[in-house]
Every structure is written in C-alpha cells, then in structure tokens.
Amino acid sequence: MIYPLPAVMVSCGANEAEYNIITIAWTGTLCTNPPMCYISVRPGRHSYNIIKKNREFVINLTTKELAKATDWCGVKSGKNVDKFKAMHLTPGKAQVVNAPTIEEAPVNIECKVTEIIPLGSHDMFMAEVVHVQADERYLNSQTNAFLLGDAGLVNYAHGNYYEQGKHIGRFGYSVQKKKKGAKGKRQTK
C-alpha cells in the first residue's frame, strides 16, 4: 500500500549481445551521501543474472510516451526477444558503467551494485549512483533542478500506470514565512 511507485526501465548488460531491459516498480533512494539507490528483482528474471554478474545497471525514468514500452518490457522476457529493437528504443552510451542507457528516457541513473540482499521473492540490489544524465529540456535554466511535471513521468499503483500529478507545494512550504509585498499584501515566494 505504499504507492504510487515509479515505473522505470532498468537497462543492463556489459555488451550489446547481453543488453536487456527490465521494468521495475520496486526502486528508490537509499542515501544522499554517498548517493545510493536500490532495485528489487526476482531471481527468476532474465536480467537478474546479468545484473548480478556485471554488478551494474542504469535506471531510466519513463514518461507517458514510453508507457507502452515500459509495460511491454515488463511482460516479455529478454531470453526470447531483443527489447531495444522490438520497442524501437536506442541503447545509449553510459558515462561510467558498461550497461546501456535508454536514450528516449529523460533521466538515466548509472549505478554500481554494492550489495545484494536476498529478501524472499526478490533480492535487493543496493547500488551507488555513479553518474546521472538528464535531458536538458527538463532542467530549470536558473536552478538546474529537474522539472518533474514537465517530463510527464509515469507512476505505477495496483497494476495500473499513471502520469505523475500536478505540483502542490515545495518541501517546507507548510512552515514558510510570508513576506510583505510592496503594496502591503502578503506574498509567498
């Protein structure tokens, strides 16, 4: 009942012959310093052994335009099909890891596995974030912050995909002090 979750495509493989994509909803941030995240993968999935062997992967954020490919890559096995070709996705060159990025994704998070924790039905791959690539179209020109709402990111909850909702506030907005404007009106930043 912890929802919604990000719906991401994780790309893996050290060379073109083993490149694969797995759709993951069980992923998230673990730590800021050092930057760390995780993905949880069933040991029976084709990508599991690729990630375990190479100890690296790329988390590719997905958008409304990538929703069909995201779903398809989650139900088809890379044992039987080249998911990049079938979904007309472009494997890109990562900056630090050997695993490919997905060029159509607005954000690619390159990760190196630090620990694998068996949890039951899934194993958690804890990883250090070693590089992030972001589509400049979605970066605020003044703050360099990623504009989540503009990217049309996709979430997953109870077997359904959803486009990310609208912005309702910034961290700390509930306690932000109001400033008086030039005409005596109270304004917030």
User: Residues 82-105: pLDDT tens digits?
Assistant: 999 999 999 999 999 999 999 999
- pLDDT, position 181: 59
Q: Kindly report which listed range (54-58, 72-76, 93-97, 165-169) carries the lowest average pLDDT score.
A: 165-169
Identify any residues that bridge with 8 across adjacent strands, giving them in sequence order: 24, 61
pLDDT at 167 over 50: yes
Q: What is the pLDDT of residue 164?
A: 84
Is the bond leading into 35 cis (omega within 30 degrees of zero)? no
Count up the domains in the chain and report the number.
Answer: 1
Distance CA 120, CA 43 (A): 10
Q: Is the pLDDT of residue 174 over 50?
A: yes
C-alpha distance from residue 12 to each of 19, 42, 91 (Å) = 6, 15, 10
The Cα-based distances of 46 to 92, 152, 175 in angstroms read: 21, 29, 48
pLDDT tens per residue across span 132-143: 999 999 999 899
Say if residue 37's pLDDT is above 60: yes
Q: Is the pLDDT of residue 189 over 50?
A: no
Q: Look up the CATH number of the domain holding residue 145.
A: 2.30.110.10
Which residue segment(s) compose the domain that 66 sits in?
5-187
The mean pLDDT value of the chain amounts to: 91
pLDDT mean over 155-172: 84
